[in-house]
Chain A
């Protein structure tokens, strides 16, 4: 009995400790949500708002809002929604193309035995350790140069940025190849006996069987591309072409005290979809990450 009581106390203590830690950890999140609905919403505002308002949300959604200084109805001149749309567009195209590029390569590495396979694997393994941001100067100069001949992939274009991201296939090839290895070859082999071509066997049999890893790789690429700051900040210049990360950084850095409320609302808008995706697939991500490094 005594022992049980002790355990109860201990359990309670544990709960209290975890809750205390959670309160500290989640404070910024809760605070930023509260700020986004706070009528004053200036930096350093109290945690529980005295007066609620939707002005900050109207501001970032490009609707008419009441300017707190002049009291007039107006529309924000920052294209925050465009930035968000740019980010989503770039991330989506990147993840789709990334899947196309890495599944085909992964299939070859997993199924064929040929000269140079070992060394291909070795090269992939080594190169995926080097994050591409180390070559940022090279990317910038290369796109500058390419843009003179092919304007669609120069600096300050989304096409150029996407191409730069597509260089980062090795990690994904590695992940997908690992999954392909677990699918028995016999299924494809019998299909090929029945007159299927290699390529048909690949996209009609192997791809549908590996939907889980494709989803994880696609979503991971989406999240990582969406969260990237350094490459778009180097490669993009025009305000309307910026990604959310770069745009919002410029937006808030110009005036921390004046745009805090709007910034809070924008953060929630940008973080919510990514957060949701992440929390849904975090189990797979961890098993993927433990295979090859950490979030990059």
Chain B
């Protein structure tokens, strides 16, 4: 039993090694590298007795590594490139594509052709120039993949062998398209254009020197420009471009380019203002309701509590979409209630300031129950003797709240407020599903809107059409969010001392 087990383990490890080697030898360097890492990790964990605890952690570790750590590192990498529409491929891929591009010169003649099966299995091609009626002959050997260039000879008569039907030609057309047929006078090189025509199809670009390309139409030389990621002749660029490492360019653009910087700074400020006001508003309403509902002799507390947290129980995306309908300028029920006349409708989601206020109100509706629940919990844990002592000392209700309840709640709730702040910084649904980030900012060259927060801006740069996808810039902004969250995390740990307690408590 044990022998079989060991044999199995060893063969699996060997198989993994083979896969890694295969990946490397077929040129998948990145994926191969990840595979080797996973393979090494697996082997150590399976073989080393000291790694026993990691056998339990292994499945969790792998997904955590593949779908958390690698994406984060990858985001960092993309943030320093110009990856995006027009720059999606690598340099060598673009070079291959350009070298494969073809054109038909104006002078090219058109030629009809027919194919005939020969007895030796080869194919006889019979070509007739449609203008001059001259006839040419050649021989194709489909079995031999390496003989793709064929010399034609001038002939006089048409072929007599068995015709190959157009249907069959259509089937083998992809293979035929690889052939180059050189005319006897060397002036034209014919290629298959369709199932009955040949024409002079030439390569648009040819290699010049190590890296440059020559445009065979204009004769211009194009060099790869490693700052913008395009082949260029100094005046114009060839599409598609390739992605390159642009260093800190994305960040420099964000903070110096006037057209980008203006909206971006506005978005940063709005993101912070949005998160801060969301926390303050939800917390205030939450604590107010908690104190109100948790009064000592209030009947129906339980029912009220459940009813109050209903907004929080509904998935956010549903509530936000409902509010989008309620706040609709032309038909929304809120405008119907406020004024029934069709003039003076309030443009809740279309006016820059009103849109921001609407977002905050909707988010207040979504978020106050969380604060209500949390503060309720804390209120219930405060012993009533504290209040009794206060009232004996003659403290009024407001004083009790300010001097006792609030400080007690604050000390317990501070890390949660920071957590809620961090959540709202990235509260994509609360913004995007309500306003779509809009209304659009005037004077912005990027798709920036008045209510856009950093994360919705990232999303729109990367995935909303219109002006093309800019993955590089989007990831650069994601990195800025990373930094913001990291700062918050440090603050939160300091506030709660949670990490210390949790790890020490377990020792």
Q: A282 touching B56 by the CB < 8 A rule?
A: no
Q: State the CA gap A142–B50 with chains docked (Å).
A: 34
Q: A44-B331, A108-B57 are in contact. Are A135 and B71 (CB under 8 A)?
A: yes
Q: Residue-by-residue, is B59-74 near A (CB-CB < 8 Å gives 1, otherwise 0)?
A: 1110110111111101
Q: Residue-by-residue, is A219-253 near B (CB-CB < 8 Å gives 1, otherwise 0)?
A: 00001001101100110000000000100110010
Instruction: Please give the residue numbers on chain B whose beta carbons come within 8 Å of chain A beta carbons, in ascending order.
Output: 31, 50, 52-54, 56-61, 63-64, 66-72, 74-75, 78, 83, 289, 292-293, 295, 297-298, 300, 304, 306-319, 321-326, 328, 330-333, 335-336, 365, 370, 373-374, 377, 416, 419-420, 422-423, 426, 428-429, 432-433, 455, 458-459, 462-463, 471, 474-475, 478, 481-482, 485-486, 488-489, 492-493, 498-499, 502-503, 505-506
**Complex interface: chain A residues within 8 A of B289 (CB):** 18, 21
**Complex interface: chain A residues within 8 A of B68 (CB):** 127, 132, 167-170
Q: B318 touching A248 by the CB < 8 A rule?
A: yes
In order of increasing CB-CB distance, the 10 nearest A-B pairs are A167-B67, A105-B60, A112-B53, A108-B56, A135-B71, A278-B313, A227-B315, A44-B331, A138-B74, A167-B68
**Complex interface: chain B residues within 8 A of A196 (CB):** none
Q: Given A282-B373, A294-B370, list of 19 further CB < 8 A pairs?
A: A28-B323, A43-B328, A100-B59, A104-B60, A109-B57, A122-B503, A127-B64, A137-B75, A141-B78, A163-B67, A198-B52, A223-B315, A227-B315, A249-B321, A256-B331, A286-B373, A286-B377, A294-B422, A295-B423
Q: State the CA gap A104–B502 with chains docked (Å).
A: 19
A204 at the interface (CB under 8 A from B): no
Q: A293 touching B506 by the CB < 8 A rule?
A: no
Q: Residue-by-residue, is A84-99 near B (CB-CB < 8 Å gives 1, otherwise 0)?
A: 0000000000000000
**Complex interface: chain A residues within 8 A of B54 (CB):** 108, 114
Q: State the CA gap A290–B78 with chains docked (Å).
A: 35
Contact segment of A59-67, A74-82, A187-195, A263-271: A263-271
21 CB-based A-B contacts, threshold 8 Å: A14-B295, A44-B333, A104-B57, A104-B60, A130-B485, A135-B72, A136-B463, A137-B471, A137-B478, A140-B463, A166-B63, A167-B64, A170-B68, A227-B317, A229-B429, A249-B317, A263-B321, A282-B373, A287-B377, A293-B422, A296-B423
**Complex interface: chain A residues within 8 A of B324 (CB):** 252, 256
Q: A134 touching B482 by the CB < 8 A rule?
A: yes
Q: B72 touching A138 by the CB < 8 A rule?
A: yes
Q: A163-B67, A249-B433, A279-B313 are in contact. Are A129 and B61 (CB under 8 A)?
A: no
Contact of A271 among B83, B315, B423, B486 (CB under 8 A): B315
Q: A279 touching B306 by the CB < 8 A rule?
A: yes
A83 at the interface (CB under 8 A from B): no
**Complex interface: chain B residues within 8 A of A293 (CB):** 416, 419, 422-423
Q: From residue A90, how far is it (CB to closest CB) to chain B in Å?
A: 14
**Complex interface: chain B residues within 8 A of A47 (CB):** 333
Q: B310 touching A101 by the CB < 8 A rule?
A: no
Q: B423 touching A43 by the CB < 8 A rule?
A: no
Q: State the CA gap A26–B312 with chains docked (Å).
A: 11
**Complex interface: chain B residues within 8 A of A110 (CB):** 506
Q: A290 touching B50 by the CB < 8 A rule?
A: no
**Complex interface: chain B residues within 8 A of A11 (CB):** 295, 297-298
**Complex interface: chain B residues within 8 A of A42 (CB):** 331
Q: State the CA gap A42–B292 with chains docked (Å).
A: 37
A274 at the interface (CB under 8 A from B): yes
Q: A294 touching B310 by the CB < 8 A rule?
A: no
Q: State the CA gap A293–B307 with chains docked (Å).
A: 24
Q: Residue-by-residue, is A139-156 near B (CB-CB < 8 Å gives 1, otherwise 0)?
A: 111100100010000000
A1 at the interface (CB under 8 A from B): no
Q: A11-B297, A166-B63 are in contact. Are A263 and B325 (CB under 8 A)?
A: yes
Give the residue among B293, B314, B332, B423 with the most A Cβ atoms within 10 A.
Answer: B314
Q: State the CA gap A117–B328 with chains docked (Å).
A: 54
> What residue of chain B has the Cβ atom nearest to residue A149's Cβ?
B31
Q: A118 touching B63 by the CB < 8 A rule?
A: no
> What residue of chain A has the Cβ atom nearest to residue B88's Cβ?
A141
Q: A263-B325, A267-B321, A270-B315 are in contact. Are A104 and B59 (CB under 8 A)?
A: yes
